[in-house]
Copies of this chain bind each other. A is one copy, B any other.
Amino acid sequence: MKVVAVDSYDVRFPTSLQLAGSDAMNPDPDYSVAYVVLRTDTGAEGHGFTFTIGRGNEVCRAALEALAPLIIGHPIDDLGEFGRRLTHDSQIRWLGPEKGVMQLAAAALVNAAWDLRAKAAGKPVWRLLAEMSPQEIVDLIDWRYLSDALTPGEAYDILTSARPGRAERIAHLEQVGYPAYTTSPGWLGYPDEKLVRLARQAVADGYSLIKLKVGGNLADDVRRLALAREVVGPDIRIAVDANQRWDVAEAVSWMTALAPYDPWWIEEPTSPDDVLGHAAIRSALATAAPHGRPIRVATGEHVANRIMFKQLLQADAVDVVQLDACRVAGVNENLAILLLAAKFGKPVCPHAGGVGLCELVQHLSIFDYVAVSGQLTDRTIEYVDHLHEHFVDPVVIERGAYQVPHAPGYSATMRPESLREYAFPDGPAWR
């Protein structure tokens, strides 16, 4: 099977009108996708996308067009080689390497290739991955720059060790689902009344972890977190998310002030590039909490590639690995990140606040439980309850858990009418 065309779309949703998605760094996001359809000589199609929050989505589309000649006319049988072709082109590599717009575009294309492969196999991506041999998984990964932390042999051993019990773990997920947490109550633009109402609803809906955005104003954060804690009680975990708002010292002092309300993790306390900063914050917060539990540090949605994740783990800078399906170069690079996290014994809790990210990351977390870490302890996938209606195979959440997807593919296909309605800048929604 060969790729014969790469069709790209700029699709944007005017989410800024409702302040859904608002946080300390992103006051008015318009959730968007640079969407791509890989067309092949057999007529089979693969759909994929990368996520942005509005302006500049057209640059990601330009990047998709720039990468297309690397794959058009080429076979798509070896997905490891397919991924490396997109990130190893010597001239294009100058534009990153492996970061920013070109990496986002590579994500869309690699994800589309997995959607294609899984549809051809008649399986969801998580199952396609789970049925591969350890060596097949190892061969999908770009091993460059990893060997000081994880070798192909170690990865093979991790995957081999996880083989027993796979059927039982799949059966468990089929029965109860994969744990979710919800960010819906906590957007910074929401009034207190809405925060309280949605937090109460989240507990009623079966969530055991909710997340609040912080970092705008300390007094507001103290009030909001106190309110939320009062509503949900002591046993529900409350994560907070600063969206990169602080320098190191400010992160420590701000979180020390929030510590009485027992935050479960602080997400993106500072620059996603700052490995050493995260390590310093984590170390300082290990003793900050009066409840006797260290405040965990989480990051990942803006972490550009496996090399940055490697260092976050080597430096013991994070407690929670928040991979993103579209930030790094797609499924292949996320396999490396799952294996790194398993090697270092850290839970993966994917980022999914966006368009279609929930749809994608459920496959990665399910694969992680079934075939990599084999664990659910402290693992949970973000869930945000908007924009799912634009997908052909949307996520299903019941009792605070993702229900296992069964449709073939990567759950990435958007409804054709949504692609038309929200086309930017000429679709009806933007006229």
- On A, residues with C-beta under 8 Å from B are 25-30, 52-56, 58-60, 62-63, 66, 89-104, 144-148, 244, 247-249, 270-277, 280, 302, 304-305, 307-308, 310-311, 314-315
Which residue of B is nearest A55, CB measured? B91
Task: Given A97-B302, A304-B99, decide whether A29 and B91 contact each other with a Cβ distance below 8 A.
Answer: yes
Shortest beta-carbon distance from A53 to chain B in Å: 5
CB neighbours (8 Å) of A60 from chain B are 95
The one of B29, B95, B310 in contact with A90, judged by C-beta atoms closer than 8 angstroms, is: B29
Q: Which residues of B contact A97 (CB under 8 A)?
A: 244, 271-272, 302
Evaluate whether A273 and B305 lie within 8 angstroms (CB atoms) in the complex, with A63-B101, A90-B27, A247-B146 already known. yes
Determine if A99 and B102 form an interchain contact, defined as CB atoms under 8 angstroms apart.
no
23 pairs, CB–CB < 8 Å, chain A vs chain B: A25-B93, A26-B90, A26-B94, A29-B94, A30-B91, A52-B94, A55-B89, A55-B92, A59-B59, A59-B62, A59-B66, A59-B102, A97-B244, A97-B271, A97-B272, A100-B100, A101-B101, A145-B271, A145-B273, A147-B248, A148-B248, A275-B311, A277-B307
Chain B residues near A54 (CB, 8 Å)?
91, 94
**Inside 8 A of A25's CB, which chain B residues have their CB?**
90, 93
- In Å, the complex CA distance between A187 and B311 comes to 32
Per a CB cutoff under 8 Å, which of B93, B98, B314 touches A276?
B314
* A96–B30 alpha-carbon span in the complex (Å): 17
* With A26-B90, A273-B99: A55-B59 Cβ-Cβ less than 8 Å: no
Task: Assess whether A273 is in contact with B102, with CB atoms less than 8 Å apart.
Answer: no
Shortest distance in angstroms between A280's beta carbon and chain B's nearest beta carbon? 7
Q: Which residues of B lie under 8 Å from residue A101 when comparing CB positions?
A: 59, 63, 95, 100-102
Closest to A61 in B: B62
Select from chain B the residue with minimum beta-carbon distance to A314.
B276
Of the residues B58, B99, B244, B307, contact of A100 by C-beta under 8 Å: B99
- CB-defined contacts of A53 to chain B, threshold 8 Å: 90-91, 94
Q: Is the CB of B148 within 8 A of A280?
A: yes
Bound together, the chains give a CA A30 to CA B92 distance in angstroms of: 11
A56, A102, A277, A305: which has the most chain B beta carbons within 10 Å? A56
Report the minimal beta-carbon distance from A419 to chain B, rounded to whole angstroms.
Answer: 21
Q: Are A247 and B62 in contact (CB under 8 A)?
A: no
Chain B residues whose CB sits within 8 angstroms of the CB of A92 once the complex forms: 55-56
Q: Contacts of A27 on B, CB cut-off 8 Å?
A: 90
Whether the Cβ atoms of A247 and B147 lie closer than 8 Å is: yes
Q: A38–B248 Cα gap in the complex (Å)?
A: 36
Q: How far is the CA of A315 from the CA of B145 in the complex (A)?
A: 18
Chain B residues closer than 8 Å to A100, beta-carbon distance: 95-96, 99-103, 304
Q: Nearest Cβ in chain B — how far from A95, in angstroms?
A: 5
The smallest C-beta distance from A42 to any residue of chain B, in angstroms, reads 28
Which residues of B are found within 8 Å of A271, using beta-carbon distances? 97, 144-145, 307
Q: Could you tell me the distance in whole angstroms from the C-beta of A356 to the nearest C-beta in chain B? A: 15
Q: How far is the CA of A308 from the CA of B27 in the complex (A)?
A: 26
Known contacts A103-B100, A148-B247: A95-B52 contact under CB 8 Å: yes
| A70 to B: closest C-beta gap in Å | 9
Across-interface contacts of A145 in B (CB, < 8 A): 247, 270-271, 273-274, 277
How many angstroms between the C-alpha atoms of A144 and B56 in the bound complex?
23
Contact, CB under 8 Å: B63 / A102: no
**A89 CB contacts on chain B under 8 angstroms:** 55
Shortest A52–chain B CB gap in Å is: 5
